[in-house]
Amino acid sequence: MVDIRGVEELKGIRIDDDHVRIGALTTHAELLASEPLHEVLPLFRRAANLIADPQVRNRGTIGGSLANADPAADWPAVVIALGADIEIAHPGDTGRVAGRDFFVDIFTTALEPNEMLVGVHIPRPTPGTRFAYRKIRHPASGYAVVGVAAAVRLRGDVIEHASIGVTGAAGHAFAGDAAAEFLIGKPLSAEVAAKAARLLSEATECLSDRYASAEYRASLLATETRRALLSLAQ
Ligand SMILES: Cc1cc2nc3c(=O)[nH]c(=O)nc-3n(C[C@H](O)[C@H](O)[C@H](O)COP(=O)(O)OP(=O)(O)OC[C@H]3O[C@@H](n4cnc5c(N)ncnc54)[C@H](O)[C@@H]3O)c2cc1C
Protein backbone atom coordinates (compact mmCIF):
# COMPACT_ATOMS: atom_id res chain seq x y z
CA MET A 1 0.00 0.00 0.00
CA VAL A 2 1.48 3.37 -1.00
CA ASP A 3 0.10 6.69 0.26
CA ILE A 4 0.46 9.18 -2.62
CA ARG A 5 -0.98 12.20 -0.78
CA GLY A 6 2.43 13.84 -0.35
CA VAL A 7 3.34 13.84 -4.06
CA GLU A 8 3.28 17.54 -5.03
CA GLU A 9 3.33 16.83 -8.81
CA LEU A 10 -0.10 15.25 -8.49
CA LYS A 11 -1.71 18.35 -6.96
CA GLY A 12 -3.29 21.49 -8.29
CA ILE A 13 -5.15 23.08 -11.18
CA ARG A 14 -3.13 24.73 -13.97
CA ILE A 15 -4.87 26.88 -16.55
CA ASP A 16 -2.91 27.47 -19.76
CA ASP A 17 -3.84 29.21 -23.00
CA ASP A 18 -5.11 26.11 -24.74
CA HIS A 19 -5.78 23.59 -22.00
CA VAL A 20 -6.46 23.02 -18.32
CA ARG A 21 -4.54 20.45 -16.32
CA ILE A 22 -5.93 19.03 -13.11
CA GLY A 23 -3.64 16.94 -10.91
CA ALA A 24 -4.91 13.54 -9.80
CA LEU A 25 -4.89 14.51 -6.11
CA THR A 26 -7.11 17.57 -6.57
CA THR A 27 -10.10 17.14 -4.27
CA HIS A 28 -13.73 17.59 -5.24
CA ALA A 29 -13.85 20.51 -2.78
CA GLU A 30 -10.93 22.22 -4.55
CA LEU A 31 -12.64 21.77 -7.91
CA LEU A 32 -15.81 23.24 -6.44
CA ALA A 33 -14.02 26.25 -4.93
CA SER A 34 -11.67 27.25 -7.77
CA GLU A 35 -12.81 30.54 -9.32
CA PRO A 36 -10.29 30.46 -12.23
CA LEU A 37 -11.47 26.95 -13.13
CA HIS A 38 -15.09 28.02 -12.87
CA GLU A 39 -14.50 30.85 -15.33
CA VAL A 40 -13.03 28.53 -17.97
CA LEU A 41 -14.90 25.27 -17.28
CA PRO A 42 -18.03 25.89 -15.19
CA LEU A 43 -19.00 22.24 -15.53
CA PHE A 44 -16.56 21.35 -12.75
CA ARG A 45 -18.30 23.42 -10.12
CA ARG A 46 -21.70 22.24 -11.25
CA ALA A 47 -20.75 18.57 -10.95
CA ALA A 48 -18.61 18.91 -7.80
CA ASN A 49 -21.50 20.58 -6.04
CA LEU A 50 -23.58 17.44 -6.58
CA ILE A 51 -21.03 14.95 -5.23
CA ALA A 52 -22.05 13.46 -1.89
CA ASP A 53 -21.53 15.92 1.00
CA PRO A 54 -18.79 18.30 2.19
CA GLN A 55 -16.99 15.54 4.14
CA VAL A 56 -16.64 13.31 1.06
CA ARG A 57 -15.80 16.30 -1.15
CA ASN A 58 -12.97 17.28 1.20
CA ARG A 59 -11.37 13.82 1.04
CA GLY A 60 -12.22 12.44 -2.40
CA THR A 61 -9.97 13.24 -5.36
CA ILE A 62 -10.65 13.42 -9.08
CA GLY A 63 -7.83 10.91 -9.71
CA GLY A 64 -9.21 8.47 -7.15
CA SER A 65 -12.69 8.79 -8.57
CA LEU A 66 -11.58 8.22 -12.18
CA ALA A 67 -9.22 5.35 -11.31
CA ASN A 68 -11.89 3.70 -9.19
CA ALA A 69 -14.35 3.83 -12.14
CA ASP A 70 -17.45 3.39 -10.04
CA PRO A 71 -20.20 3.16 -12.68
CA ALA A 72 -22.16 5.81 -10.76
CA ALA A 73 -19.34 8.35 -10.20
CA ASP A 74 -19.77 11.86 -11.56
CA TRP A 75 -16.34 12.82 -12.96
CA PRO A 76 -16.27 10.15 -15.69
CA ALA A 77 -19.28 11.76 -17.43
CA VAL A 78 -17.70 15.20 -17.11
CA VAL A 79 -14.29 14.27 -18.54
CA ILE A 80 -15.94 12.46 -21.45
CA ALA A 81 -18.21 15.42 -22.30
CA LEU A 82 -15.22 17.78 -22.16
CA GLY A 83 -13.12 15.64 -24.52
CA ALA A 84 -10.46 15.32 -21.82
CA ASP A 85 -7.44 13.02 -21.85
CA ILE A 86 -6.34 11.03 -18.83
CA GLU A 87 -2.61 11.37 -18.13
CA ILE A 88 -0.99 8.12 -17.11
CA ALA A 89 2.47 7.40 -15.69
CA HIS A 90 4.13 4.13 -16.71
CA PRO A 91 7.50 3.15 -15.24
CA GLY A 92 9.92 5.74 -16.69
CA ASP A 93 7.38 7.29 -19.04
CA THR A 94 4.04 9.08 -19.27
CA GLY A 95 1.21 8.82 -21.76
CA ARG A 96 -2.42 9.71 -22.35
CA VAL A 97 -5.67 7.91 -22.98
CA ALA A 98 -8.80 9.68 -24.18
CA GLY A 99 -11.34 9.90 -21.36
CA ARG A 100 -13.91 8.22 -23.59
CA ASP A 101 -11.65 5.13 -23.85
CA PHE A 102 -10.54 5.05 -20.23
CA PHE A 103 -13.58 3.37 -18.65
CA VAL A 104 -13.80 -0.20 -19.84
CA ASP A 105 -16.10 -1.99 -17.38
CA ILE A 106 -17.52 -1.84 -13.87
CA PHE A 107 -14.65 -0.62 -11.63
CA THR A 108 -12.25 -1.30 -14.52
CA THR A 109 -10.18 1.22 -16.46
CA ALA A 110 -7.51 1.18 -19.14
CA LEU A 111 -4.86 1.46 -16.37
CA GLU A 112 -2.39 -1.43 -16.24
CA PRO A 113 -1.26 -2.72 -12.82
CA ASN A 114 2.09 -0.87 -13.13
CA GLU A 115 0.52 2.46 -14.10
CA MET A 116 -1.01 5.35 -12.21
CA LEU A 117 -3.26 8.22 -13.12
CA VAL A 118 -1.38 11.50 -12.73
CA GLY A 119 -3.79 14.09 -14.09
CA VAL A 120 -6.56 15.16 -16.42
CA HIS A 121 -5.84 17.26 -19.51
CA ILE A 122 -8.81 19.24 -20.81
CA PRO A 123 -8.74 21.31 -24.01
CA ARG A 124 -9.99 24.85 -23.34
CA PRO A 125 -13.48 25.07 -24.79
CA THR A 126 -14.25 27.43 -27.66
CA PRO A 127 -15.87 30.60 -26.24
CA GLY A 128 -19.64 30.35 -26.29
CA THR A 129 -19.72 26.65 -25.41
CA ARG A 130 -22.49 25.93 -22.92
CA PHE A 131 -22.35 23.19 -20.30
CA ALA A 132 -24.86 21.24 -18.27
CA TYR A 133 -24.66 18.48 -15.71
CA ARG A 134 -27.77 16.80 -14.38
CA LYS A 135 -28.13 13.74 -12.26
CA ILE A 136 -30.61 11.74 -10.28
CA ARG A 137 -28.84 11.44 -6.93
CA HIS A 138 -29.07 8.29 -4.92
CA PRO A 139 -30.69 9.62 -1.73
CA ALA A 140 -28.19 7.97 0.65
CA SER A 141 -24.80 8.33 -1.07
CA GLY A 142 -25.40 11.05 -3.63
CA TYR A 143 -23.94 8.82 -6.37
CA ALA A 144 -25.60 9.17 -9.79
CA VAL A 145 -28.38 6.69 -10.46
CA VAL A 146 -28.09 8.38 -13.84
CA GLY A 147 -25.92 11.41 -14.65
CA VAL A 148 -25.59 13.33 -17.92
CA ALA A 149 -22.92 15.92 -18.80
CA ALA A 150 -23.44 17.90 -21.99
CA ALA A 151 -21.45 20.52 -23.88
CA VAL A 152 -23.11 22.35 -26.76
CA ARG A 153 -22.04 25.25 -28.96
CA LEU A 154 -24.44 27.08 -31.24
CA ARG A 155 -23.75 29.08 -34.36
CA GLY A 156 -26.75 31.33 -34.67
CA ASP A 157 -29.70 29.07 -33.95
CA VAL A 158 -27.98 25.89 -35.05
CA ILE A 159 -25.86 23.46 -33.02
CA GLU A 160 -22.32 23.24 -34.41
CA HIS A 161 -20.76 21.16 -31.61
CA ALA A 162 -22.25 18.72 -29.11
CA SER A 163 -20.79 16.13 -26.80
CA ILE A 164 -22.45 14.06 -24.11
CA GLY A 165 -20.99 11.96 -21.29
CA VAL A 166 -23.17 9.52 -19.37
CA THR A 167 -22.64 7.90 -15.99
CA GLY A 168 -24.77 5.67 -13.79
CA ALA A 169 -26.84 4.24 -16.62
CA ALA A 170 -24.56 1.40 -17.72
CA GLY A 171 -21.62 -0.64 -16.42
CA HIS A 172 -19.21 2.20 -17.15
CA ALA A 173 -19.35 5.82 -18.23
CA PHE A 174 -19.58 6.36 -21.98
CA ALA A 175 -19.94 9.00 -24.69
CA GLY A 176 -23.41 9.48 -26.15
CA ASP A 177 -22.11 9.81 -29.69
CA ALA A 178 -25.23 8.94 -31.69
CA ALA A 179 -27.25 11.58 -29.83
CA ALA A 180 -24.46 14.17 -30.12
CA GLU A 181 -24.13 13.56 -33.87
CA PHE A 182 -27.89 13.82 -34.31
CA LEU A 183 -27.81 17.30 -32.73
CA ILE A 184 -25.29 18.78 -35.17
CA GLY A 185 -26.86 21.19 -37.65
CA LYS A 186 -30.19 21.31 -35.81
CA PRO A 187 -31.79 23.98 -33.64
CA LEU A 188 -31.82 23.34 -29.89
CA SER A 189 -35.58 22.94 -29.74
CA ALA A 190 -37.69 20.87 -27.38
CA GLU A 191 -38.41 18.41 -30.18
CA VAL A 192 -34.74 17.98 -31.14
CA ALA A 193 -33.67 17.58 -27.48
CA ALA A 194 -36.35 14.93 -26.93
CA LYS A 195 -35.34 13.01 -30.07
CA ALA A 196 -31.64 13.07 -29.11
CA ALA A 197 -32.51 11.91 -25.59
CA ARG A 198 -34.62 9.07 -26.95
CA LEU A 199 -31.82 7.99 -29.31
CA LEU A 200 -29.36 7.88 -26.42
CA SER A 201 -31.67 5.99 -24.13
CA GLU A 202 -32.68 3.43 -26.77
CA ALA A 203 -29.03 2.77 -27.69
CA THR A 204 -27.97 2.14 -24.07
CA GLU A 205 -27.95 -1.25 -22.39
CA CYS A 206 -28.90 -0.01 -18.93
CA LEU A 207 -27.83 -1.56 -15.64
CA SER A 208 -30.38 -3.19 -13.43
CA ASP A 209 -29.68 -3.35 -9.69
CA ARG A 210 -31.47 -2.95 -6.38
CA TYR A 211 -31.52 0.84 -6.81
CA ALA A 212 -33.16 0.98 -10.24
CA SER A 213 -34.33 -1.44 -12.92
CA ALA A 214 -32.89 -1.19 -16.43
CA GLU A 215 -36.23 0.09 -17.68
CA TYR A 216 -36.36 2.83 -15.04
CA ARG A 217 -32.75 3.87 -15.73
CA ALA A 218 -33.52 4.09 -19.46
CA SER A 219 -36.43 6.36 -18.67
CA LEU A 220 -34.27 8.52 -16.35
CA LEU A 221 -31.55 8.70 -19.00
CA ALA A 222 -34.00 10.03 -21.60
CA THR A 223 -35.48 12.55 -19.16
CA GLU A 224 -32.18 13.85 -17.78
CA THR A 225 -30.60 14.12 -21.25
CA ARG A 226 -33.58 16.07 -22.55
CA ARG A 227 -33.52 18.38 -19.53
CA ALA A 228 -29.75 18.87 -19.73
CA LEU A 229 -29.97 19.83 -23.41
CA LEU A 230 -32.96 22.11 -22.92
CA SER A 231 -31.21 23.92 -20.07
CA LEU A 232 -28.62 24.96 -22.68
CA ALA A 233 -31.20 26.52 -24.97
CA GLN A 234 -31.58 29.70 -22.87
C1 LIG B 1 -20.43 8.14 1.31
C2 LIG B 1 -19.83 8.38 -0.04
C3 LIG B 1 -20.57 9.05 -0.99
C4 LIG B 1 -20.03 9.28 -2.26
N5 LIG B 1 -20.78 9.95 -3.19
C6 LIG B 1 -20.24 10.19 -4.41
C7 LIG B 1 -20.98 10.91 -5.40
O8 LIG B 1 -22.09 11.39 -5.19
N9 LIG B 1 -20.41 11.07 -6.61
C10 LIG B 1 -19.15 10.61 -6.90
O11 LIG B 1 -18.68 10.79 -8.02
N12 LIG B 1 -18.42 9.96 -5.97
C13 LIG B 1 -18.94 9.75 -4.74
N14 LIG B 1 -18.18 9.09 -3.81
C15 LIG B 1 -16.80 8.69 -4.16
C16 LIG B 1 -15.78 9.68 -3.62
O17 LIG B 1 -16.10 10.96 -4.09
C18 LIG B 1 -14.34 9.36 -4.01
O19 LIG B 1 -14.01 9.86 -5.26
C20 LIG B 1 -14.04 7.88 -4.05
O21 LIG B 1 -14.46 7.29 -2.83
C22 LIG B 1 -12.53 7.67 -4.24
O23 LIG B 1 -11.88 8.21 -3.13
P24 LIG B 1 -10.41 8.81 -3.25
O25 LIG B 1 -10.40 9.89 -4.26
O26 LIG B 1 -9.96 9.12 -1.85
O27 LIG B 1 -9.57 7.62 -3.85
P28 LIG B 1 -9.04 6.31 -3.10
O29 LIG B 1 -10.11 5.72 -2.24
O30 LIG B 1 -7.74 6.62 -2.49
O31 LIG B 1 -8.76 5.39 -4.37
C32 LIG B 1 -9.80 4.72 -5.06
C33 LIG B 1 -9.15 3.62 -5.90
O34 LIG B 1 -8.39 4.21 -6.95
C35 LIG B 1 -7.00 3.92 -6.80
N36 LIG B 1 -6.30 5.19 -7.05
C37 LIG B 1 -6.45 6.36 -6.36
N38 LIG B 1 -5.71 7.32 -6.92
C39 LIG B 1 -5.09 6.76 -7.98
C40 LIG B 1 -4.18 7.24 -8.97
N41 LIG B 1 -3.78 8.51 -8.98
N42 LIG B 1 -3.74 6.38 -9.92
C43 LIG B 1 -4.16 5.09 -9.93
N44 LIG B 1 -5.01 4.55 -9.03
C45 LIG B 1 -5.47 5.39 -8.07
C46 LIG B 1 -6.81 3.41 -5.37
O47 LIG B 1 -5.73 2.52 -5.28
C48 LIG B 1 -8.14 2.74 -5.12
O49 LIG B 1 -8.17 1.45 -5.71
C50 LIG B 1 -18.71 8.84 -2.56
C51 LIG B 1 -17.95 8.18 -1.58
C52 LIG B 1 -18.51 7.95 -0.33
C53 LIG B 1 -17.65 7.24 0.70
Digit-coded pLDDT (tens) for 166-189:
999 999 999 999 999 999 999 999
Q: How far apart are CA 24 and CA 10, in angstroms?
A: 5
* 114 and 137 both lie in a single domain: no
Structural domain boundaries, residue 72: 8-123
Query: Mean per-residue pLDDT for 139-150?
Result: 96
* 116 and 168 both lie in a single domain: no
Find all residues with CB under 8 Å of 129, minimum gap 6, and list them: 151, 152, 153, 161
pLDDT surpassing 90 at residue 82: yes
State the total domains in the chain. Answer: 2
Q: How far apart are CA 198 and CA 164, in angstroms?
A: 13
pTM recorded for the entire structure? 0.97
* 138 and 32 both lie in a single domain: no
Type of residue numbered 74: D
- Beta-carbon neighbour count of residue 28 at 10 Å? 26
Find all residues with CB under 8 Å of 192, minimum gap 6, and list them: 182, 183, 186, 229
Is the residue at 197 inside a domain?
yes
**Which atom number of ligand 1 is nearest to the Cα of residue 142?**
8
pLDDT in tens, 34-58: 999 999 999 999 999 999 999 999 9
Is the residue at 184 inside a domain?
yes
Query: Mean per-residue pLDDT for 188-214?
Result: 97
Closest CA to 73 of 55, 56, 58, 91: 56
* 107 and 155 both lie in a single domain: no
Is the residue at 3 inside a domain?
no
* 139 and 116 both lie in a single domain: no
- Beta-carbon neighbour count of residue 39 at 10 Å? 10
* 107 and 148 both lie in a single domain: no
Ligand 1: centre distance to CA 230 (Å): 31
Residue 59 φ then ψ, to 5°: -100, -40
Q: Report pLDDT for 1.
A: 87
Q: How far apart are CA 120 and CA 66, in angstroms?
A: 10
Give the CA distances from residue 75 to residues 80, 165, 191, 195, 196, in Å, rounded to whole numbers and listed in that order: 9, 10, 29, 26, 22
What is the CB < 6 Å shell around ligand 1?
A: 24, 28, 51-52, 56, 59-61, 63-65, 67-68, 73-75, 111, 116-117, 141-143
pLDDT in tens, 104-114: 999 999 999 99
* 166 and 64 both lie in a single domain: no
Q: How many residues does the chain have?
A: 234
pLDDT surpassing 80 at residue 234: no
